[in-house]
Amino acid sequence: MDYRNSGVDIEAGYESVKLMKQFVRRTMRPEVIGGIGGFSGAFSMSAVKKMEDPVLLSGTDGVGTKIKLAFLMDRHDTVGIDCVAMCVNDVACAGGEPLFFLDYIACGKNIPEKIATIVSGVAEGCVQSECALIGGETAEHPGLMPEDEYDLAGFSVGVCDRKDLITGENLKAGDVLLGLSSTGVHSNGFSLVRKVFEMTRENLETPYPELGGKRLGDVLLKPTRIYVKALKQAKADGVKIHACSHITGGGFYENVPRMLREGVRAVIRKDSYEVPPIFRLLAERGEIEEHVMYNTFNMGIGMVIAVDPADVDRAQAAFRKTGDESHVIGEIVSGEKGVDVC
């Protein structure tokens, strides 16, 4: 009897690391010390030396049940982007620059080529957010998970000078709310999505007229948009962001209030932008009430940003530089802390 007979293939683990190294190399920053394969990832703090009062920020998350679609379609190169996005967008939302990322893959059976493909997506997400993939873990769990399944989670650390933290304390009535467009459902609400649509490969590979002839699976698996560069560009162009909210699980009703201070309220106008077809199709096929839709999904807006009215044009110009579409979707008013979607 040996470890392989118990279901854990050490040699497959070595092969996975060998295959993923080519993807990890793309993410390197000058501050990274050493390479992948050590017991810990090392990152020099030289990046924060010029800051007056550096504050570390962290974010951790997974991909949720969206990963079931990757199993069904046997496509594993995009969920890694989702995993990175869910973490680094939270860091950026507080004004931080993501520095490095670590991933954790739990699988029923280590298939090196599949693991390397997953990590290729993680690396792509790190490239998009300009953070380094400095380590991770692949854990083989025979008997705990089916051999063809896995779960993916990650952890990011970023930094921000305290004076540049986005806290919401300067938020005031009259501030304008800008919405950065999402790429679709992102990585939240998929437990409901999987109840609405038949989760078979045949259905996921079916073109839907309501989606402009695109295959349902392609639309649903589209990776979460990463907003790190957009927020960094706005800062570089002199835009002072008063508050910011990453629209994830809980949609508008849970996430927008998290960016507000006491005494102010957000008003978001539904007709201020075009809701993507996938959300209209979800609501129709699932007979989902409008309030539930806005309380579950991002509805086409991945991040909400509050700025002074004088900064609106400059902010939108900055977002265009990074290829991000933005809309004026509402404003801040005086009142009880909360959000009105009207």
User: Could you read off the pLDDT tens digit of each residue along the chain, which spans 342 residues?
Assistant: 545 655 566 677 667 777 778 888 889 898 888 776 677 888 888 878 889 999 999 999 999 999 999 999 999 999 999 999 999 999 999 999 999 999 999 999 999 999 999 999 999 999 999 999 999 999 999 999 999 999 999 999 999 999 999 999 999 999 999 999 999 999 999 999 999 999 999 999 999 999 999 999 999 999 999 999 999 999 999 999 999 999 999 999 999 999 999 999 999 999 999 999 999 999 999 999 999 999 999 999 999 999 999 999 999 999 999 999 999 999 999 999 999 999
* Cα 47 to Cα 61: distance, rounded to the nearest angstrom: 25
- Count the domains in the chain: 2
* Structure confidence at residue 3 (pLDDT): 52
Q: Are both 144 and 237 inside the same structural domain?
A: no
Q: Are both 20 and 82 inside the same structural domain?
A: yes
Contact between 216 and 197 under an 8 Å Cβ cutoff? The reply is yes
* Cβ neighbours for 185, distance < 8 A, ≥ 6 positions apart: 66, 193, 220, 222, 278, 279, 297, 298
Q: Are both 156 and 183 inside the same structural domain?
A: no
Using alpha carbons only, what angle is made at residue 47 by residues 42 and 48, rounded to the nearest 5 degrees? Answer: 110
* Cα 225 to Cα 227: distance, rounded to the nearest angstrom: 6
CATH number of the domain encompassing residue 274? 3.90.650.10
Q: Are both 196 and 335 inside the same structural domain?
A: yes
Structure tokens, 6: 């118990």
Q: Are both 181 and 270 inside the same structural domain?
A: yes
* Structure confidence at residue 340 (pLDDT): 98
Q: Which of 105, 129, 164 is the last residue of a domain?
A: 164
Q: Are both 28 and 128 inside the same structural domain?
A: yes
Q: Are both 160 and 191 inside the same structural domain?
A: no
Q: Are both 81 and 191 inside the same structural domain?
A: no
With respect to residue 185, please indicate whether it lies within any of the assigned structural domains: yes
Reported pTM: 0.94
Q: Are both 158 and 135 inside the same structural domain?
A: yes
* Structure confidence at residue 4 (pLDDT): 62
Is the four-CA dihedral 234, 236, 237, 240 of positive or negative sign? positive
Q: Which of 164, 195, 214 is the last residue of a domain?
A: 164
Q: Are both 150 and 295 inside the same structural domain?
A: no
Instruction: Tell me which residue range forms the domain holding 234.
Output: 176-341
Q: Are both 156 and 190 inside the same structural domain?
A: no
Question: What kind and span of H or E run contains 89?
Answer: helix 79-93
Q: What would you report as the CA-atom Rg of the chain, rounded to the nearest whole angstrom?
A: 21
Q: Which of 164, 191, 207 is the last residue of a domain?
A: 164
Contact between 233 and 220 under an 8 Å Cβ cutoff? The reply is no
* Structure confidence at residue 49 (pLDDT): 83
